[in-house]
Amino acid sequence: MTCANSTSKSANCAPILWSALTRRRRESPHGLLDLPARAKLLALVEHRPGARMAEIVRALSMSWSAVYHHLQRLREAGLVRIEVRGRYRQVYPLARPSLEGEPKALRGATRVRVARVIALRGPLSTPDLIEATGLTRRLAYHHVRGLEEDGLIVRARGPGRAALLYPTPALVDALAFVSG
């Protein structure tokens, strides 16, 4: 007997209906962050880009498998990136959809601060950027990678062995939009 054509009171359709409803919520991009654990996880990753899985597990007091499951759903939705480095997994947030006309790469005060230092001080090395901004090495590299992926800065070899970060005209335009 199926639930659709059953007139019997003994046929229990609640588990099937509940399963369909929860599956639809999980597959919907709007319902993705309805789960409090997943929302906390994304907030933690956005606050601490490059956090290792073990750090996240400790901070949220969740099991490793639960954290991994939620990260996979967030990765599938395009909200985080998971990098495997040796025996560690590091998690980085990806840019959320931006407002109309807002440059995606310059969302967040730290990213804007990094962009301004590169634009004002002109070609500089990543260690110089770290010194100028006071960021940790991991956080600075995260923001440099994001700016580079969006074409707002270019990394090129300078004199000697150091790679220098050069601002592009697109960076100047993006900063003008953020400032204005």
Listed by start position, the domains of the chain span: 16-93, 104-179
The CATH classification number of 16-93 equals 1.10.10.10
How many CB atoms neighbour CB 110 within 10 A? 14
* Ordered per-residue pLDDT tens for the chain, 180 residues: 455 554 545 455 555 544 444 444 444 455 677 788 888 888 888 888 888 999 999 988 889 999 999 999 888 888 888 888 888 889 988 865 544 455 556 767 788 888 888 888 878 888 888 999 898 888 888 888 888 887 788 877 766 767 788 888 777 777 776 664
Domains 16-93 and 104-179 share a fold: yes
| 35: alpha, beta or left? (left if phi > 0; alpha if psi -120 to 50) | beta
pTM exceeds 0.85, yes or no: no
Matching CATH number, 104-179, of 1.10.10.10, 2.70.98.50, 1.10.645.10, 3.50.30.60:
1.10.10.10
Q: What is the pLDDT of residue 17?
A: 45
Matching residue, tokens 């003008």: 176
| 164: alpha, beta or left? (left if phi > 0; alpha if psi -120 to 50) | beta
